[in-house]
Amino acid sequence: MSDNKCILVTGGAGYIGSHTVVELVNAGYDPVVIDNCANAVRASENGRPGSIKRIEKIVDKKIIYYDIDLLNKAALDDLFAKHSFIAVIHFAGLKAVGESIEIPIEYYKVNICGTLNLIECMKKYQVSNLVFSSSATVYGTPQYLPIDENHTVGSCTNPYGKSKYFIEEILRDVGKAEKDWNIILLRYFNPVGSHKSGLIGEDPQGTPNNLMPYVAQVAIGRRSQLSIFGGDYDTPDGTGVRDYIHVVDLALGHIAALKKVSTKCGLKVYNLGTGKGYSVLDMVRGMEKASGKKIPYKIVDRRDGDVGSCYAEVTLAQTELGWKSDRNLEEMCEDLWRWQTKNPKGFQTDNSS
């Protein structure tokens, strides 16, 4: 391994992490993945996640992987002693909004304490470049649209969003105290789709928390119909509008961010989205076109905390990172449908050999 290209990817077996690992290899980096598989299905052999095996097939290269929990400080210390990282991309953490409301203490412990352990190890081993996986949830209820990076943050509606906000604040303080640190906070909007190969994609356990995996499961017959929460919003068709971004575009945003931290940029914040709003019904129609299936749905009551519209202003990322999303709604749905049809049981589908 070429140590001058060695990148630590925490949570690299997950949905966004796995796609980013592929793009890291494509860009000439040497990713080292750690994951405790809380959000990923394990393979049946050697304890390696199914996503890592699929990544290796895509890039035709062995991926260094460790089963490490960020709460295990000793294991993390050993890892940093073994590799000379030039930067860290930090995805690891619990991520389900609904679950965070039910078990908030676990979310704060895992997401915040895990990040603190990571920061302490980075400082000890003089690794000062960090790209953090944040979220548009830090904005709370939009005060204006599109949402730019100057929008107020902190009025989060759930513990998951609060944990991301608290970590952002911690990293801001680190950046002020440690002048040699370079930190980029990437605020994601709504990732969808999968890799063109259909080998890796979003594999929710149990009932999907996000719209599009649920829609895809209805299309393939795993679920009978979709419940749309709210049909009376002040939007073109009454359903909620969100900024959906292809996961490969999102992954490429991390490559752009890595290049930025290498320029000694200090602390920067960027939205990663398309800048376009798509309604729930837009997404349903997109999946119907991609799948050739009729997707039954019913309109039900709104959920507490949901807003009518939320989409990004993305000019800053375009200007300063030289990055923009290139994949449209049709491609998002086509790639998601390819993943769903090739992997009806997610990573437990045995088609990777």
What is the per-residue pLDDT across 212-259, written as a single tens digit (0 to 9) for each?
999 999 999 999 999 999 999 999 999 999 999 999 999 999 999 999
What local confidence, expressed as pLDDT, does residue 38 receive?
Answer: 80
SS3 32: strand
This prediction's pTM: 0.96
What local confidence, expressed as pLDDT, does residue 262 receive?
Answer: 95
- Could you give the percent of the chain with pLDDT greater than 90? 88
pLDDT at 119 over 60: yes
Cis status of the peptide bond prior to 213, with omega within 30 of 0: no
The one catalytic residue among 29, 160, 165, 188: 160
Give yes or no: 311 in active site.
no
β-bridge pairing 267-272 and 182-188: parallel
Residue 352 confidence class, pLDDT cut points 50, 70, 90: very low
Average pLDDT over residues 313-323: 98
Annotated domain spans of the chain: 3-348
Residue 42 confidence class, pLDDT cut points 50, 70, 90: low
What local confidence, expressed as pLDDT, does residue 96 receive?
Answer: 87
**What does the alpha-carbon distance between residue 25 and residue 19 come to, in Å, rounded to a whole number?**
10
For the four alpha carbons of 322, 323, 328 and 334, in that order, the dihedral sign comes to positive
Tell me 2's DSSP state. -
pLDDT at 2 over 50: no
CATH class of 3-348: alpha beta
What is the chain's mean pLDDT, rounded? 94
**What does the alpha-carbon distance between residue 226 and residue 224 come to, in Å, rounded to a whole number?**
7
pLDDT at 273 over 70: yes
List of residues 6+ apart from 335 with CB closer than 8 A: 193, 194, 195, 196, 198, 201, 246, 248, 327
Q: Which residue reads 């009806």 in tokens?
A: 344
SS3 135: strand
Residue 44 confidence class, pLDDT cut points 50, 70, 90: very low
